[in-house]
Amino acid sequence: MFDPMDLDDQDAYLRWRRLKLAHYPAGIERIRIEIDDLHHPTAAELDAIKTRVARFNMALIQARPEDVCPAGVLAVGRALGLQRTDANLFADTRAVSHIEAATATRDNAGGGARRTDFIPYTNRPLSWHTDGYYNAPEDQVEAWTLFCVRPAHRGGVNALLDPEIAYIRLRDDSPRHIEALTHPRALLIPAHTQAEETLRPARIGPVFSVRRGHLHMRYSARGKHVVWRDNAATALARKALDQLFSSADAFTFHHRLEPGEGIVSNNVLHNRSGFEDLPAGRSGRLLYRVRYRDRIETKIAGERPTSPGAPTMEHRTQPSGVQEETSGPRGQVQIHHPIERNG
């Protein structure tokens, strides 16, 4: 059994690494699944999603655009076993966040904070991160879903990277990077205060940890409002991560969500390019996002466990209505060019 925190058992690591990398290179079509009814996904469709999640920690769902509504997004999450939502700032009462470029005039202020102060609610580029890196250790975000109602007029492309691939690339570079990033004080997010009121206390914790037997990553590439452990090993590990994000063999997926499409993921690393909406008065980019404190469990009928150390399923017969894995025109690994950091 492979333990990501055990840097001495090289044999177990190499076995797990070989099984993981057997699915790469892979393009976005490899993780795409068609869902006939987002509100009521079939067992075959759910198995197909979980197979992709087992291999890549994410899947791209293609649903009917009219099905993408908060109820539909929550329904497919429940069907995937995601029960415990993360009620974050600006999410609605069902924990669904409406991701759009907020303006001062339609900014629904909450708790003394304004959406326009937060990059996800602007049209600016969003740097690499996992969701909820500022959550308490016991409240980590283990999965999220993100569905598109309307794309931007231009831009708004997501890049997505499986943290298990990030772990492999870093460990191959130097196991000392993993050692530095598993330190319990590796990354501090200072308290969020406004008008002398503490909206969120400071959070400190590791970048890599193991939660319920699975590798978990907590990361933000932002340059402000983060405090990294001040030593040479951590600085080298951060530099290696920066290099990873522009590396061709990082196996990053790039995709601009179109209406009806959505990503479901075990909180993979992601970023977003800047975007432009049409002039005021026209409907702009709108995505629905839900964060969960559960992860998408991928143990399905006939399959062995998929936690680190256990092999993923090598082959499945595709149920009817589910797209075969192919490498189409978009089935190429693309090189990510770093975007402007969000400061």
Using CB under 5 A as the criterion, which residues of the chain lie in contact with Fe ion when the complex forms?
131
CA–CA separation, 146 and 153 (whole Å): 18
Judged by beta carbon, residue 86 or residue 325, the one nearer Fe ion is 86
CA–CA separation, 194 and 304 (whole Å): 49
Judged by beta carbon, residue 19 or residue 146, the one nearer Fe ion is 146
Give me the helix-helix angle, 163-173 and 10-21, nearest 10°: 130
**What is the nearest approach in angstroms of Fe ion to the Cβ of residue 118?**
11
* Residue 219 near residue 187 (C-beta atoms within 8 A): yes
**What is the nearest approach in angstroms of Fe ion to the Cβ of residue 129?**
6
* Residue 111 near residue 89 (C-beta atoms within 8 A): yes
| C-alpha distances in Å from residue 13, one per residue of 4, 177, 182, 244 | 8, 15, 16, 20
**What is the nearest approach in angstroms of Fe ion to the Cβ of residue 324?**
30
Residues 309-335 as b/e (b if ≥16 CB within 10 A, e otherwise) read bbbbbeeeeeeeebeebeeeeeeebee
**What is the nearest approach in angstroms of Fe ion to the Cβ of residue 10?**
33
Q: Report CA dihedral (123, 124, 127, 131) to the nearest 10 degrees.
A: -40
Judged by beta carbon, residue 237 or residue 287, the one nearer Fe ion is 287
**What is the nearest approach in angstroms of Fe ion to the Cβ of residue 212?**
22
Sign of the Cα pseudo-torsion (224, 229, 340, 166, in order): negative
* Residue 296 near residue 264 (C-beta atoms within 8 A): yes
Judged by beta carbon, residue 45 or residue 131, the one nearer Fe ion is 131
CA–CA separation, 175 and 10 (whole Å): 10
Residue in the shown chain whose Cβ atom is closest to Fe ion = 131
Judged by beta carbon, residue 97 or residue 298, the one nearer Fe ion is 97
Judged by beta carbon, residue 130 or residue 209, the one nearer Fe ion is 130
Judged by beta carbon, residue 131 or residue 261, the one nearer Fe ion is 131
Q: Please give the sequence-ordered ranges of beta strands (E in DSSP) within 63-195, or none if there are none.
A: 96-99, 126-129, 143-150, 154-155, 158-161, 187-189, 192-194
**What is the nearest approach in angstroms of Fe ion to the Cβ of residue 341?**
15
Q: Encoding tokens for residue 276? A: 């432009």
Helix extents (H) in the chain: 10-21, 43-56, 70-79, 163-173, 175-181, 232-244
**What is the nearest approach in angstroms of Fe ion to the Cβ of residue 130?**
7
Judged by beta carbon, residue 167 or residue 219, the one nearer Fe ion is 219
Q: Give the rounded distance of the alpha carbon of 44 from its chain centre.
A: 24
**What is the nearest approach in angstroms of Fe ion to the Cβ of residue 11?**
35
**What is the nearest approach in angstroms of Fe ion to the Cβ of residue 125?**
12
Residue 139 CB neighbours (<10 A): 11
Judged by beta carbon, residue 146 or residue 165, the one nearer Fe ion is 146
